[in-house]
Amino acid sequence: MRKTTQMATADRDAVGGDHNPLHQVHRLNDILQQSVASLPSTAKPQRSASPQEQAERRRRERQLRNRKRKKKR
């Protein structure tokens, strides 16, 4: 008999002592939290805080939008 993925997962969880679906969710959540925590900090989005940099970014974005609008005409 071929095992389905679901059955294999159930077997693996049973070996881990997770018969309760809620425990499985908690265990998987812990694994996910750890993997996110181990990501390099550069993977997280960073916004420039200074008002000057924000103004520059807005100006650049506006210029880009205007340029795109001009091309469409």
36-65 confidence digits (pLDDT tens): 888 877 655 666 678 888 889 899 999 999
AA identity, residue 34 = Q
Task: Read off the pLDDT band of 1 (50, 70, 90).
Answer: low
19, 13 in Cβ contact below 8 A? yes
pLDDT at 12 over 80: no
For residue 40, what are the CA distances in angstroms to 11, 19, 23, 33, 47?
33, 34, 28, 14, 16
Q: From the CB of residue 27, how many other CB atoms can be counted at a distance below 10 Å? A: 14
Residues 6+ apart with CB under 8 A from 3: 11
Residue 27: inside a domain: yes
Looking at the 3D structure of the chain, how many domains does it have?
A: 1
Of 2, 28, 68, the C-alpha closest to 20 is: 28
Let me know if residue 28 belongs to a domain.
Answer: yes
Domain limits for position 27: 7-34+49-72
Q: pTM value?
A: 0.33
